[in-house]
């Protein structure tokens, strides 16, 4: 009886143990599945973030976004592939071929008018902003392609041989501004929820989308947390990319600051010419004042001679009339005193006029000695040179761009 009870207890214990182990097994399987989902989710998020960083770096270096890649897994951009495809991981320099499984779309809204073109995968000379072109007169106008390169001098770079001087980050910023201002279009990559067009979108396709031969133009709205079977998306709008590339600072400088600086530089030589003319006019006026003072001295001397003659005449008449006309002598004496005062005043005016004339001559000598006119023209050329060179370099100039733009020489005339 004891042996049977012990055997019965062992079977019950074994049954309970098996049940517990089964429950633990089920929980373990579910836990492992959840951990796999968490790992896949984290891996996809990391891959999307790396792709985003690589796309930002590519756009800064090449003044455009890459074209999508074909589905051959090589990861090379193919601009004939259209707006959507797979992430060009090899072109972006990503080390993980697994990144080629990500979907990728780029906004490609082309326009025949360069300033209105919003094909973000093409580098094009779009930014035609105000620059100053000045010879003898100040002229403000819209810069045409390559104008900054057509400067006098044997070392002037040729834009036809150095396309990076024309197609740089400023042109890409212009494309982003145009894209941000355009109305949403379902014919281009867009966020399905808001229907806004995106600059670029990178997505990890969900389970239901695995193996799809074509990548759609519409992408699900980005979310922080999703089920593993759903699509995960990273979308960047034109305005967001504009901010990340700091286009506002560069375009603001090119649109306003550089034009204003160039205008101020172009005004320096005419101002110096005008100042020279004013100095010459001042000298002429000083010379006229000096001659007028001489005339005043002669007039005062004549008046004094006339007054003395009148005094002598009055004295003679007074003697002839035995003092009857002695009152005229007093009047004549007053006239002599007045003429003496006039003579003194004329002498003071002559001294002031001579001092004024000497000062004006000294000013002209100093102006010519310090070569203000030639130095102002040199300064104007130098400022204009630096402004145009800055416009040629763009937002993020490469070493080659800096070296080529350094060959730009100032124009021979301001």
| Residue 10 exposed, middle or buried by CB count within 10 Å (0-12, 13-18, 19+) | exposed
Does the pTM of the predicted model rise above 0.75? no
Q: What angle do CA 77, 81, 87 make, to 5 degrees?
A: 45
Give the class (CATH, top level) of 250-394.
mainly alpha
Nearest to 405 by CA among 151, 183, 231, 216: 151
* Residue 375 contacts residue 115 (beta carbons within 8 Å): no
Residue indicated by tokens 């040729």 = 158
- CA pair distance 58, 64, nearest whole angstrom: 7
Strands 108-109 and 103-106: unpaired
Separation CA 221–CA 235 (nearest Å): 8
Closest C-alpha to 404, from 88, 167, 220: 167
In the block, residue with structure tokens 């990319």: 241
- Per-residue pLDDT of the chain in tens (414 residues, 90 and over written 9): 445 444 455 767 667 677 777 777 776 666 555 555 555 567 778 888 899 999 999 999 889 999 999 888 889 999 987 899 999 999 999 988 888 889 999 999 998 888 889 999 998 888 876 666 655 554 455 554 445 565 544 566 666 677 777 778 888 999 999 999 998 888 898 888 777 899 999 988 865 555 556 778 888 766 544 444 556 888 899 999 999 999 988 887 777 777 777 777 777 787 888 888 888 888 888 888 878 777 777 776 777 777 666 666 666 666 666 555 555 656 566 666 667 776 777 777 778 878 888 888 888 888 788 888 788 778 777 777 777 777 777 778 878 788 877 777 665 544
The span from the CA of 179 to the CA of 193, in Å, is 19
| Structure confidence at residue 1 (pLDDT) | 44
What SS3 state is found at 407? Answer: coil
Neighbours of 345 (CB within 10 A): 13
Contact 294, 348 (CB under 8 A): no
Tell me phi and psi for residue 154, to 5 degrees: -70, -20
Helices (H), 111-198: 169-181
**Would you list the domain boundaries of the chain?**
42-246, 250-394
Structure token digits, residue 360:
């004006």
414 vs 136: CA distance, rounded Å: 7
Contacts of 295 (CB under 8 A, 6+ apart): none
**For residues 278 and 273, what is the distance between their CA atoms, to the nearest angstrom?**
9
Provide the H-helix boundaries in 189-325: 238-244, 247-252, 258-320
Please list, in sequence order, all residues whose beta carbon lies within 8 angstroms of the beta carbon of residue 393, skipping any fewer than 6 positions away: 168, 401, 402, 405
- Alpha-carbon gap, residue 333 to 304, rounded angstroms: 11
Which residue in 258, 222, 224 sits closest to 387, CA to CA?
A: 258
Pick the closest to residue 239 from 122, 118, 128 (CA basis).
118
């Amino acid at each position: 009886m004891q042996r049977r009870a012990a055997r019965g207890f062992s079977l019950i214990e074994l049954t309970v143990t098996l049940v517990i182990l089964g429950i633990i097994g089920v929980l373990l399987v579910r836990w492992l599945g959840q951990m796999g989902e968490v790992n896949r989710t984290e891996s996809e998020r990391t891959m999307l973030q790396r792709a985003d960083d690589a796309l930002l770096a590519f756009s800064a270096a090449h003044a455009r976004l890459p074209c999508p890649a074909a589905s051959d897994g090589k990861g090379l951009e193919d601009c004939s592939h259209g707006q959507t495809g797979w992430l060009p991981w090899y072109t972006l320099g990503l080390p993980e071929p697994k990144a080629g499984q990500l979907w990728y779309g780029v906004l490609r809204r082309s326009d025949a008018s360069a300033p209105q073109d919003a094909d973000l995968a093409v580098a094009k000379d779009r930014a035609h902003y105000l620059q100053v072109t000045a010879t003898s007169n100040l002229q403000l106008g819209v810069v045409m392609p390559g104008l900054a390169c057509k400067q006098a001098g044997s070392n002037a770079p040729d834009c036809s041989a150095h396309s990076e001087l024309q197609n740089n980050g400023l042109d890409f910023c212009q494309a982003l501004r145009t894209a941000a201002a355009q109305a949403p279009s379902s014919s281009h990559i867009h966020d399905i929820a808001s229907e806004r067009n995106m600059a670029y979108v990178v997505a990890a396709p969900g389970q239901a989308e695995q193996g799809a031969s074509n990548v759609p133009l519409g992408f699900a709205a980005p979310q922080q947390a999703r089920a593993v079977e759903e699509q995960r998306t990273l979308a960047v709008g034109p305005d967001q990319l504009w901010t990340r590339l700091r286009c506002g600072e560069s375009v603001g400088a090119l649109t306003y600051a550089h034009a204003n600086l160039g205008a101020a530089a172009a005004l320096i030589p005419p101002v110096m010419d005008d100042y020279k003319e004013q100095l010459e006019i001042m000298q002429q006026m000083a010379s006229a004042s000096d001659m007028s003072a001489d005339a005043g001295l002669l007039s005062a001397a004549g008046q004094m001679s006339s007054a003395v003659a009148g005094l002598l005449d009055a004295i003679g008449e007074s003697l002839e009339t035995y003092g009857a006309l002695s009152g005229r002598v007093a009047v004549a004496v007053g006239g002599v005193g007045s003429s003496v005062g006039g003579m003194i005043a004329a002498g003071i005016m002559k001294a002031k006029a001579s001092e004024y004339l000497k000062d004006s001559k000294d000013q002209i000598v100093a102006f010519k000695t310090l070569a203000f006119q030639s130095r102002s023209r040199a300064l104007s050329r130098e400022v204009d040179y630096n402004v145009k060179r800055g416009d040629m370099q763009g937002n993020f100039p490469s070493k080659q761009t800096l070296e080529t733009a350094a060959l730009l020489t100032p124009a021979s005339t301001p």
